[in-house]
Structure 1
Amino acid sequence: MKHLLLSSLMLLGLASAGGAAAPTPTPLTATAAIRDAAGQTHGSARFVQVGAGVQVTVEARGLTPGQHGMHVHEYGRCTPGVDPATNTVVPFGGAGGHFDPGMSKNHDAPSTDNKHGHAGDTPVLNVGADGVGRASFTTTKISLTGINGVLNRSLVIHAQPDDFKTDPAGATGAREQCGVIVRENFSVRDYPLPGHQDYPEGVAVDSARGIIYTGSAATGTIYAINANTGAVSKFQEGGALGRMSALGLKVDKLGRLWVAGGTQGTVSVLSPEGMTVKVLETPKSPRPYVNDLTPAPDGNVYVTDSARPVIFRVKPDLTLESWLDLSKTPIKYGPGINLNGIVATPDGQSLLTIQLNTGDLWRIDLRTKAVRKVMGGLVNGDGLLLDGRTLYVARNKDQVISKVTLSADYGSGQLVAEEPLMGLRFPATLARYGGSDLIVTQAQLDKLQGGTPETPFKLTRFRKF
C-alpha cells in the first residue's frame, strides 16, 4: 500500500524537496479510555504509529486475574447492541464484530496476516492478582491510517482467554470493558445525514449562501446542509426525472448545481431553488458511468466517464458533446473504475483527472487536447480538489486524503502528505469551504453491495494541512 511505503518518511509531514532535509514528522498517536458497562473508567490504551507498525500499550483495572481476550472491533461505539450469534442485546454490542478489513471472516492468531485472519485479533491481556491487566506489543496488522486504520474503532476486553481459533471471537466470552480509539490533538466537525442508506458520494459548496450539497450514490437524493448550524434538508428527492444516483457534484458561477448520474449516463443541472433546469443524456451505451465533472474558466463543464474512454463537454448553451476520445491518448482504460475525479486549473489551460484503477494523475491541455502523465502512485484516487498548486486527492479504499504539490505548469507533482483525519470511511470527494477548510464525504461505498455501514452517514470538515 502506498501509505505504508510513505509513512516512515512523511506521515503527516513533508517529503524532502530540492535536496533539503525533510522535517521530522510528528508521530500519529491515539488513545482509548477503557470503561465498563456502567461507564466507569478503568484504564487506557495508547497507540503510536511507528513506520508500518503500531505500538500498543494497554492498562486496565477491575478484571479477574488471568488471561483475557482483547480485540479491535469494527465500530467506534462502546454501547449496548445485538450479538448476532445469540440475537440478544449485550454490553458493548454496538462495537460490532472484529475489525476485518481483509474480509477473512476468520478469527486467528495475532501473527496471522489479514487475508487469513481478523486485523483486530491482538495478543491477550494478562491480569495480575491485583486485578490490573497490562499488555505492550507492536503489530503491523493494524495502522492509524489507511485500509487497516483503527481510528474511531474500539478496543474490547473480554471475560475469558483467547484460543485464537474459534470463530468469531476465540471463545473469549462476554465483553467486559471497551474504549473508542481517538486520535490525539486533532479536531474535525462532522455533518451527520438523516438516512440509513445515504452513501454520500459527491459534495459541493455554495459559499455565497453557506450551503453544502451532498448526493446519495444509492438513491439520487440531494441534501442541502447549513454549513453553520448543520441543519439538513432535502434539496431534491431521489428519482427526480429518473435520477437514481448522484455522484460528482459541482456548483457553477450562477449557483446552479451540476450532478453526475453514474450508471444512468446523465448530467443533471439544478437551479439554486432545487428545480431541474435540464437533464443531459450521454450517448447510449450498455456501460455508462458518468462519474465527475468540473466547470472550467472557458465556460464549459467537462465530464468523466469511468467505463467509457471519453471526456464529455457541456457547452454554455447546455448542449453535450463527446469532446475527447481517450482511446487515442496515453490514457488506457482497463477493468474497474478508470477516470474519476476531474478539476480545471485556474489558469484556464488544462484539466487534471485521476485514474482510480491505476493511480495515475493526468493533465489534459484544453487547447491542443494533448495528454500528459503528471505522476503515479495514487491508487484508489477518487475525488480531486485543486487549491492553487496544491492538489488534494480522496483515496477511497486507502481511507486517506493525499496532498500533492504540483509544478507551475501542473505537469508534474510530488506526494507530500497523507491524512486519515479522525478515521475515514471510504472518502470519495472533496470541496473547499472558505479559505482554510475542506469538506470530505465518508461515502462507505465499499458497503453498498454488502456489509453494514456505520450510521449516521456523515461529511467531515477539517483544516487544510
Structure 2
Amino acid sequence: MRPPPTSRIIAALAILAVAVPSVAASAGTAETSSSGVALATVRNVNGAVLGTVSFYMVNRKTFVSGRLTRLSPGFHGFHVHTAGICDPKATDPSGKVVPFHSAGGHLNLEGVGHPHHTGDLPSLYVSADGTTTSITENDKLTAAALFDADGSAIIVHALPDNFANIPKRYSATGPDAETLATGDSGGRVACGVIVRPH
C-alpha cells in the first residue's frame, strides 16, 4: 500500500535534508566543492528554542534548510538580516521596544528593493500544528555575506511577505518605501544568530 501524498512529501524532504550534506561531503569530485556550514538556533521573544536553520554551502549555492515549531499557522516572512544580534528587548531609534530590531534590516549587499535583497528567502508556511519545514537554495548568500564584521541573523516575521508585489492597478505608484524594504511582513517573532558550527 502506497503512503498518502503528505507522507511521501515529508519523506522526500527528509531525504533531501540528508542529501545536502552528502553532496557537500563529496568535495573531492570535480563537480562539487563544499565551503562549510552555518547554523542558527531560532528563538522566540521569550527565549524558547523553536528549531534550527542550517546553511550548507556547495560551490556557488547555499542550501538553507530547517524545521521550526511553535509558530502561528499561516505564511511568515523569512529573511537573513544584517546583524548577528538577536535582542528581544531591543529598541528602535525612538526608544520603543521592538523585538529583534538589533538584527537590522534585510541583508542587502546590492542596494536594491525587496524582493531582490541578498537575504530574501521564500516565505515559510506554518501548518495548523505550528510546524514548518523548509529547504531552498540561494546563489547570493555566500560565507562572506553571512560572516561580515557584524555577522547576520535569520528572522521569522509575524505576517506574510508580499514580495513587494503591489501592481500599479492597486496603487498609482506601485509598492511604497516600506513595502520595498520589508514586503510588509510585520514584526519579528523569532530570531537566530547565524554562526559557524563549533
- TM-score scaled by length of structure 2: 0.71
| Superimposed CA distance per residue, residues 331-390 of structure 1 (whole angstroms, 9 cap, x where no aligned partner) | xxxxxxxxxxxxxxxxxxxxxxxxxxxxxxxxxxxxxxxxxxxxxxxxxxxxxxxxxxxx
Contact 1:32 1:179 in 2 (8 A): yes
Distance across 2 between alignment mates of 1:95 and 1:78: 6
Distance across 1 between alignment mates of 2:34 and 2:63: 15
For residues 159 and 153 of structure 1, do their structure 2 counterparts lie closer, same or farther at Cα, with a shift above 3 Å needed?
same
How many positions carry a matched residue from both structures?
154
Distance across 1 between alignment mates of 2:70 and 2:183: 22
The offset of 1:81, in angstroms, is 2.6
Q: Letter of the aligned partner of 1:160 in structure 2?
A: L
Determine the structure 2 residue equivalent to 1:82: 91
Determine the structure 2 residue equivalent to 1:30: 38
Distance across 2 between alignment mates of 1:66 and 1:132: 10
- What residue ranges of structure 2 are gaps of 5+ in the alignment? 1-27, 165-178
Aligned with residue 187 of structure 2, among 149, 155, 174: 174
Determine the structure 1 residue equivalent to 2:132: 133
Q: Letter of the aligned partner of 1:134 in structure 2?
A: T
For residues 135 and 81 of structure 1, do their structure 2 counterparts lie closer, same or farther at Cα, with a shift above 3 Å needed?
same
Determine the structure 2 residue equivalent to 1:41: 49
Distance across 2 between alignment mates of 1:156 and 1:140: 19
Distance across 1 between alignment mates of 2:141 and 2:38: 13
Q: Letter of the aligned partner of 2:135 in structure 1?
A: S
Contact 1:71 1:98 in 2 (8 A): yes
The offset of 1:26, in angstroms, is 5.2
**Alignment partner of 1:163: what SS?**
coil
Distance across 2 between alignment mates of 1:83 and 1:172: 17
Question: Within the alignment, does 1:100 sit opposite 2:96 as a pair?
Answer: no
Contact 2:39 2:54 in 1 (8 A): yes
Distance across 1 between alignment mates of 2:75 and 2:95: 27
The offset of 1:174, in angstroms, is 1.1
Distance across 2 between alignment mates of 1:26 and 1:172: 33
Determine the structure 1 residue equivalent to 2:75: 67
- TM-score scaled by length of structure 1: 0.31
Contact 2:33 2:58 in 1 (8 A): no
Distance across 1 between alignment mates of 2:35 and 2:157: 30
Contact 1:83 1:90 in 2 (8 A): yes
The offset of 1:157, in angstroms, is 0.0
Contact 1:124 1:135 in 2 (8 A): no
Contact 2:34 2:59 in 1 (8 A): no
| Superimposed CA distance per residue, residues 287-340 of structure 1 (whole angstroms, 9 cap, x where no aligned partner) | xxxxxxxxxxxxxxxxxxxxxxxxxxxxxxxxxxxxxxxxxxxxxxxxxxxxxx
Contact 2:85 2:153 in 1 (8 A): yes
Determine the structure 1 residue equivalent to 2:156: 157
Distance across 1 between alignment mates of 2:95 and 2:161: 22
| Superimposed CA distance per residue, residues 102-133 of structure 1 (whole angstroms, 9 cap, x where no aligned partner) | 122x222xxxxxxxx31111100110111002
1:114-133 equivalences under 5 Å are 117-133=116-132
Percent identical among aligned pairs is: 37
**Alignment partner of 2:54: what SS?**
strand
**Alignment partner of 2:181: what SS?**
coil
For residues 83 and 133 of structure 1, do their structure 2 counterparts lie closer, same or farther at Cα, with a shift above 3 Å needed?
farther
Contact 1:68 1:126 in 2 (8 A): yes
Determine the structure 2 residue equivalent to 1:54: 62
1:334-413 equivalences under 5 Å are none
Distance across 2 between alignment mates of 1:26 and 1:133: 27
Q: In terms of Rg, which structure is larger?
A: 1
For residues 164 and 26 of structure 1, do their structure 2 counterparts lie closer, same or farther at Cα, with a shift above 3 Å needed?
closer
- What residue ranges of structure 1 are gaps of 5+ in the alignment? 1-14, 16-20, 109-116, 186-465
Distance across 1 between alignment mates of 2:101 and 2:186: 12
For residues 139 and 67 of structure 1, do their structure 2 counterparts lie closer, same or farther at Cα, with a shift above 3 Å needed?
same
The offset of 1:168, in angstroms, is 1.8
The offset of 1:66, in angstroms, is 0.9
For residues 55 and 168 of structure 1, do their structure 2 counterparts lie closer, same or farther at Cα, with a shift above 3 Å needed?
same
Contact 2:41 2:49 in 1 (8 A): yes
What RMSD, in angstroms, separates the aligned Cα atoms of the two structures? 2.4
Q: Letter of the aligned partner of 1:168 in structure 2?
A: A
In terms of fraction of residues, the more helix-rich structure is: 2
In terms of fraction of residues, the more strand-rich structure is: 1
Higher relative contact order (CA 8 A, sep 6+): 2
Q: Letter of the aligned partner of 1:179 in structure 2?
A: G
Contact 2:33 2:59 in 1 (8 A): no
Q: Letter of the aligned partner of 1:153 in structure 2?
A: S
The offset of 1:143, in angstroms, is 1.2
Deviating 4+ runs (over 6 angstroms): none
